[in-house]
């Protein structure tokens, strides 16, 4: 594809967004706990087109049973209704923490800490 810069990059990004290849959303949600948190993640995923990358932010006002509390930046990629991944990133006092999960054959796996 070559090097895309300047006006060409902007046009390329607009085309990706318009054709549905990229789903740029930076919505922010507040979660009241594990069950609410999982609904937010699952619903955001359900409302995303196939073959789309997406991102959003969520604030845990009550701790999630695996991820804990805090503010998370979330990104994911949905291949289709059966296959997908999500990664959640937050901070600690001296570093970051990241968790990931995948959907295989339509079922989400548990969150796993990766950093």
CA distance 112 to 66: 8
Mean pLDDT split into 10-residue runs, the chain, 115 residues: 44 50 52 66 83 83 73 91 95 88 95 93
Q: What is the pTM of this model?
A: 0.69
Q: Which residues contact 110 (CB under 8 A, 6 or more apart)?
A: 66, 101
User: CA of 32: how far to CAs of 47, 64, 106, 112, in Å?
Assistant: 21, 9, 25, 21
């Amino acid at each position: 594809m070559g090097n895309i810069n300047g006006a060409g990059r902007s046009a390329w990004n607009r085309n990706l967004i318009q054709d549905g290849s990229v789903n740029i959303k930076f919505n922010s949600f507040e979660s009241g706990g594990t069950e609410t948190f999982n609904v937010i993640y699952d619903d955001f995923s359900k409302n995303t087109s196939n073959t789309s990358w997406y991102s959003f932010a969520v604030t845990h006002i009550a701790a999630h049973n695996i991820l804990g509390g805090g503010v998370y930046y979330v990104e994911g990629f949905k291949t289709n209704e059966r296959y997908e991944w999500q990664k959640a990133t937050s901070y600690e006092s001296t570093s970051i923490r990241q968790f990931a999960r995948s959907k295989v054959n339509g079922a989400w796996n548990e969150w796993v800490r990766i950093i």
